[in-house]
Amino acid sequence: MQVYHDIADFRPLKNAVVTSGTFDGVHLGHQKILSRLREVAEASGGETVVITFWPHPRMVVSKDSQNLRLLSTIDEKIELLRQNGVQHLVVVPFTREFSELSSDAFIQQILVDTIGTKKLVIGYDHHFGKNREGSFEYLQNNAQRFGFEIEEIPAQEIDNLTISSTKIRQSLSEGQTAIANELLGRNYTFTGVIVKGRQLGRTIGYPTANVQVLESYKLIPVDGVYAVRVHVRGQWQKGVMSIGFRPTVNGIGRTQEVYIFDFQENIYGEKMTVENVAFIRPELKFDGLEALKKAIDDDCTAALKILNA
């Protein structure tokens, strides 16, 4: 996959089959669009092009941008699109100035002049341009003028739930890990650096890796205990994770701490990816370290049962 961080570096293609969107999380709904994109390109001898935007448009134009949490960082999104067989990825820098571009200007300057679009495949209710004024109906009505075909993919559902990034964010924020993972089509992940904490876990036989996520906008699931898999030093390991403020030990600040089964290596300063497999229980305050240790024993038993199933 070729990645273009400056649209000026792109040269028009003879037969570009294109889609456009934020693709946060690259969930099953997005994957359906990407699958159709590949089908159309293969049938017509064309090349697939995905246009996405960074920063996320809401980071630039929304009044509550500081509270926005995303399912994927830009690096994660690029890798997920690569895994979905995209040939060309154009990452358009989203600025205030760009947000003022009309739908007509976006279509002419980017889709037609820069990309050379021959067919555009978009998701249900997709809008573009200033104030989201561009729509499928608008594209249909003007397709002949712009010189390309247009196809809309209907909304995708699982168990009567419409697949959307918003629904997945909501599910993760409510401890509904199973729903989030089903809509994503994979287990939700985040990556961080292992930093030193208070090391209280060592005193009760459960040394933990404190995972610090550097991207403040990356969504961390709701406080609680989870069965997880972690990728560190090139291998996947099983573990149990606690997210929260550690009320039993008067913790300061929210942390993500992972106890890795049968693992004793020093990994401070290294990167770890956490795969969120299942929610076990909410965060609780226990009456002292002995009660906390008993709860962790039970959490580990529950996590291993889930992970070994």
How far is it, in rounded angstroms, from Cα 23 to Cα 52? Answer: 7
* Residue matched to tokens 């409510």: 174
Query: pLDDT tens for residues 58-91?
Result: 999 888 888 899 999 999 999 999 999 999 999 9
How far is it, in rounded angstroms, from Cα 211 to Cα 153? Answer: 38
What is the mean predicted confidence (pLDDT) over 179-185? 97
pLDDT band at residue 201 using 50, 70 and 90 as cut-offs: low
Residue % of the chain over a pLDDT of 90? 76
Query: pLDDT tens for residues 158-169?
Result: 888 899 999 999
DSSP state of 61: H
In sequence order, what E strands does the chain have?
A: 2-4, 16-20, 47-54, 88-93, 117-123, 149-153, 157-158, 161-162, 188-195, 209-212, 224-232, 235-244, 255-260, 271-281
How far is it, in rounded angstroms, from Cα 18 to Cα 28? Answer: 18
pTM (two decimals): 0.93
What is the mean predicted confidence (pLDDT) over 264-284? 96
pLDDT score at 155: 87
DSSP letters of 160-215? TEE--HHHHHHHHHTT-HHHHHHHHTS-EEEEEEEE----GGGGGT---EEEE-S-
Q: List domains and CATH numbers for the chain.
A: 2-162 (3.40.50.620), 188-307 (2.40.30.30)
pLDDT score at 166: 95
Query: pLDDT tens for residues 103-134?
Result: 889 999 999 999 999 999 999 888 877 777 77
Is beta strand 47-54 parallel, antiparallel or unpaired with respect to 149-153?
A: unpaired
What rounded mean pLDDT belongs to the chain? 93
Query: pLDDT tens for residues 9-56?
Result: 999 999 999 999 999 999 999 999 999 999 999 999 999 999 999 999
